[in-house]
């Protein structure tokens, strides 16, 4: 594993002069400044400051189609995706259209092993009877064949998506996607559920102009924001200001006890508290349980949990999702163990071709040889095991990406009886993985059957016989784009806290100062400490008592997955200020994320 380097985020020079309101701790002001925020208005996440939907290209055409469909009592179908962004987008689309007067709204979501990704011809063929209007969410920008099939059958198609388009656009009746070339919408970071929410905002405005609610109150779309927040955080899109407004508004609903029945039930089974829920809880506790349905079984389970109003039914659905997620974790652990063996095999030996008997086959960069000890010789890593589950390969790629600090693509059989492999790619800073796949596609036409995604994550499919050729090609692209420096992992911190700043009050202010997430990282500090005491906590975890070397009180700390060794007597730690809640009482607790000898 490459050596991790701690670095401190730079602060603006000269320091900000904007006056912050009384009560905003100096440490939180420093955290904001390191993220480019020197004005209190930039953390006032008011819905009134959302970007206007009219700036989204194609939204007028999409709104006109939807408004006419509602007026004609048309059959409208929301076509979703099998991840949390897609599931929340479907729930928002169905609930929102019903709020706005649509009486005939249904949804369809592809099954990973039966239909493939997006609005495919196979999914269209399953839509009997074919609806009058199909609205995609979190997919569609690459669904050329499926859209042609739908329109040939007499359906009109609106694409709402946020993925990067290919060289040509599908022949849809309308396309709403902030990442289309030339689109004027200032925020390119909307998740799929965010695009759907924006479409509903614009549709409500158009229906208002048509006199839909003359003399009566109009529908309140803010009831959808808990699901918008969940999907936005789950999809790991950057939390720019506009996304932070959406997420914070959703969290306020949840903390205020106004979450939908499904999200409330998911909070309970995940062992969280609604009153103090954070964006981190959305991403690491709720989203995996929704995602598990699409990975292991059928995403309709997750969508139904997000759609219903009956708390009892929601509790049963959440319990089912919790059980599926437990199964997913077991499958994932076995697959990650296989992948770690594969990479370990590639990091030992003396260059002798082949791998030891009984170990999984490995192709790293297309080279089945064992390379000398040290960092892997490949830069872009491709892994495949015929026994792997296609719904979990993205998690395997993510784990390996973290440990190797290299872009990783993990493949599994599609599971539909074909010779196709489905792959999920995860990347590191400085390597736009979707663009890298486009480069591979341009250099080797026909090698990749389909691909799409973002800078940090992408999906693709190819023939099993072409895996080794793809692995060579992907590694070659990665070698050309990533420097030696880019392959060294860096953990950025917000510097040291002073003695008087270790407080429960600051921990609360940091917790509530977000929402934190992708592109707006949670505060992380580093100090040198003396180890006063420590003891093992379960398998491989630590519970410690520390004192900062510049004096002060002792501090409770915990570190998970620390390994079997004892912590150093004098250590430098990167940590978060956490709050340990027990029997209604709160205590300050440092959550150690990295430790090294000082």
pLDDT in tens, 282-313: 999 999 999 999 988 889 999 999 999 999 99
- R_g of the chain, CA atoms, integer Å: 25
Query: DSSP label at 595?
Result: E
* pLDDT band at residue 120 under the 50/70/90 scheme: very high
Q: Is the pLDDT of residue 367 over 70?
A: no
In the prediction, which pLDDT does 215 show?
82
Mean pLDDT of 225-253: 97
Mean pLDDT of 533-540: 89
pLDDT digits (tens, 9 = 90+) for 95-116: 999 999 999 999 999 887 778 7
In the prediction, which pLDDT does 14 show?
61
Q: Is the pLDDT of residue 372 over 60?
A: no
In the prediction, which pLDDT does 347 show?
53
Q: Is the pLDDT of residue 556 over 80?
A: yes
* pLDDT band at residue 362 under the 50/70/90 scheme: very low
Round to whole Å and give the CA distance between 140 and 444.
Answer: 24
pLDDT digits (tens, 9 = 90+) for 444-482: 999 999 998 888 899 999 999 999 999 999 999 999 999
In the prediction, which pLDDT does 369 show?
28
Round to whole Å and give the CA distance between 545 and 134.
Answer: 59
* pLDDT band at residue 117 under the 50/70/90 scheme: confident
In the prediction, which pLDDT does 342 show?
85
Weakest-pLDDT range from 1-5, 88-92, 256-260, 309-313: 1-5
Closest C-alpha to 594, from 577, 576, 578, 574: 574
According to CATH, what is the number of the domain 347-488? Answer: 3.10.310.30
In the prediction, which pLDDT does 373 show?
35
In the prediction, which pLDDT does 418 show?
85
Round to whole Å and give the CA distance between 413 and 421.
Answer: 5
For the segment(s) 48-213+220-323, the CATH number from 3.40.30.10, 3.90.1640.30, 3.90.1150.10, 3.60.21.10 is 3.90.1640.30
Tally of residues, the chain: 598
pLDDT digits (tens, 9 = 90+) for 74-87: 999 999 998 999 99
Structure tokens at 478: 């990665």
Q: Coil, helix or strand for 233?
A: helix
Residue 379: CB atoms within 10 A of its CB come to 24
With contact defined as beta carbons under 8 Å apart, do 495 and 528 qualify?
no
Q: Is the pLDDT of residue 140 over 80?
A: yes
* pLDDT band at residue 359 under the 50/70/90 scheme: very low
Phi, psi of 537 (to 5 degrees): -130, 100
Residue 288: CB atoms within 10 A of its CB come to 19
What is the Cα 586 distance to its own chain's centre? 30
In the prediction, which pLDDT does 574 show?
96
In the prediction, which pLDDT does 510 show?
96
With contact defined as beta carbons under 8 Å apart, do 105 and 90 qualify?
no
Mean pLDDT comparison of 11-25, 432-446, 535-549, highest-scoring range: 432-446
Structure tokens at 362: 């490995």
Weakest-pLDDT range from 72-86, 331-345, 516-530: 331-345
Rounding to the nearest 10 degrees, give the CA dihedral for residues 66, 70, 73, 79.
40
In the prediction, which pLDDT does 18 show?
64
For the segment(s) 5-44+491-597, the CATH number from 3.60.40.10, 3.30.10.20, 3.30.365.10, 2.40.50.460 is 2.40.50.460
Round to whole Å and give the CA distance between 37 and 23.
Answer: 17
**105-108 and 76-79 beta bridge pairing:** parallel
Percent share of the chain, pLDDT over 90:
79
Q: Is the pLDDT of residue 357 over 60?
A: no
pLDDT digits (tens, 9 = 90+) for 21-49: 888 999 999 999 999 998 888 999 999 99
Mention every residue, 6+ apart, whose C-beta is less than 8 A from residue 554: 532, 545, 546, 547
Structure tokens at 585: 């009482």
Round to whole Å and give the CA distance between 163 and 140.
Answer: 9
Query: What order do you get walking across the sheet with 420-426 strand by strand?
Result: 381-384, 408-413, 420-426, 457-463, 450-453
Q: Between these two residues, 401 and 365, which has the higher pLDDT value?
A: 401
Q: Is the pLDDT of residue 375 over 50?
A: no
pLDDT digits (tens, 9 = 90+) for 156-174: 999 999 998 989 999 999 9
Residue 86: CB atoms within 10 A of its CB come to 34
Q: Is the pLDDT of residue 532 over 90?
A: yes
With contact defined as beta carbons under 8 Å apart, do 376 and 475 qualify?
no
Mention every residue, 6+ apart, whose C-beta is less than 8 A from residue 82: 109, 110, 111, 112, 117, 294, 295, 299
Query: DSSP label at 355?
Result: -
Mean pLDDT of 428-438: 95
Q: Is the pLDDT of residue 262 over 50?
A: yes
Q: Between these two residues, 364 and 353, which has the higher pLDDT value?
A: 364
Mean pLDDT of 222-238: 96
Weakest-pLDDT range from 224-238, 311-325, 414-428: 414-428
* pLDDT band at residue 584 under the 50/70/90 scheme: confident
Q: Is the pLDDT of residue 263 over 60?
A: yes
Mean pLDDT of 439-444: 96
Mean pLDDT of 341-348: 70
Residue ranges of domains in the chain: 5-44+491-597, 48-213+220-323, 347-488
Weakest-pLDDT range from 261-270, 392-401, 448-457: 448-457
* pLDDT band at residue 573 under the 50/70/90 scheme: very high
The chain-wide mean pLDDT, for the chain, equals 90
């Amino acid at each position: 594993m490459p050596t991790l380097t701690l670095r401190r985020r730079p602060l603006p020079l000269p320091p900000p002069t904007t006056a912050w309101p009384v009560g905003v701790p100096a440490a939180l002001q420093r955290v904001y400044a390191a993220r480019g925020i020197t004005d209190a208005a930039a953390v006032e996440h008011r819905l009134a400051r959302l970007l206007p939907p009219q700036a989204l290209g194609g939204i007028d055409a999409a709104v006109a189609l939807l408004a006419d469909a509602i007026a004609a009592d048309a059959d409208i179908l929301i076509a979703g995706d099998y991840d949390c962004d897609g599931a929340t987008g479907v729930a928002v689309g169905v609930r929102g259209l019903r709020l706005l007067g649509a009486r005939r709204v249904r949804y369809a979501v592809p099954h990973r092993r039966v239909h493939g990704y997006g609005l495919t011809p196979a999914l269209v063929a399953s839509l009997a009877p074919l609806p009058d209007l199909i609205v995609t969410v979190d997919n569609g920008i690459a669904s050329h064949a499926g859209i042609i099939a739908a329109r040939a059958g007499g359906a009109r198609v609106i694409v709402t998506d946020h993925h990067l388009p290919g060289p040509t656009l599908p022949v849809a009746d309308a396309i709403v996607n902030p990442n289309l070339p030339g689109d004027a919408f200032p925020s390119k970071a909307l998740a799929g559920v965010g695009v759907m929410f924006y479409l509903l905002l614009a549709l409500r405005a158009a229906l208002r102009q048509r006199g839909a609610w003359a003399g009566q109150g109009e529908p309140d779309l803010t009831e959808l924001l808990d699901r918008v927040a969940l999907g936005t955080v789950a999809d790991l899109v950057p939390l720019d200001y506009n996304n932070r407004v959406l997420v914070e508004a959703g969290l306020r609903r949840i903390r205020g006890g106004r979450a939908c029945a499904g999200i409330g039930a998911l909070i309970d089974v995940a062992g969280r508290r609604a009153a103090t829920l954070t964006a981190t809880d959305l991403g690491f506790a709720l989203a995996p349980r929704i995602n598990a349905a699409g990975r292991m079984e059928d995403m309709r389970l997750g969508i139904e949990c997000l759609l219903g109003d009956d708390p009892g039914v929601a509790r049963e659905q959440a319990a089912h999702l919790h059980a599926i997620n437990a199964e997913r974790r077991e499958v994932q652990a076995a697959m990650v163990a296989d992948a770690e063996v594969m990479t370990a095999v590639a990091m030992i030996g003396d260059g002798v071709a082949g791998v030891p008997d009984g170990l999984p086959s490995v192709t790293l960069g297309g080279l089945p040889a064992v390379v000398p000890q040290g960092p892997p010789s490949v830069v872009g890593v491709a892994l495949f095991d015929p026994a792997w589950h296609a719904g979990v390969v993205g998690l395997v790629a993510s784990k390996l990406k973290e440990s190797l600090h290299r872009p990783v693509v993990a493949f599994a059989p599609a599971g539909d009886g074909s010779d196709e492999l489905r792959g999920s790619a995860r990347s590191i800073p400085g390597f736009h993985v979707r663009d890298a796949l486009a480069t591979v596609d341009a250099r080797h036409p026909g090698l990749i059957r389909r691909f799409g995604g973002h800078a940090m994550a992408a999906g693709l499919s190819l023939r099993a016989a072409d895996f080794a050729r793809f692995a060579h090609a992907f590694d070659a692209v990665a070698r050309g784009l990533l420097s030696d420096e880019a392959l060294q992992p860096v953990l950025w911190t917000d510097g040291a806290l002073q003695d008087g700043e270790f407080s429960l009050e600051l921990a609360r202010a940091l917790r509530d100062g977000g929402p934190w997430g992708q592109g707006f990282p949670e505060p992380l500090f580093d100090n040198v400490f003396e180890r006063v005491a420590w003891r093992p906590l379960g398998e491989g975890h630590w519970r410690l008592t520390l004192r900062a070397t510049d004096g002060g009180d002792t501090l409770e700390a915990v570190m998970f997955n620390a390994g079997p060794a004892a912590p150093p007597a004098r250590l430098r730690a990167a940590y978060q200020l956490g709050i340990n809640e027990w029997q209604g009482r709160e205590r300050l607790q440092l959550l150690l994320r990295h430790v090294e000898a000082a």
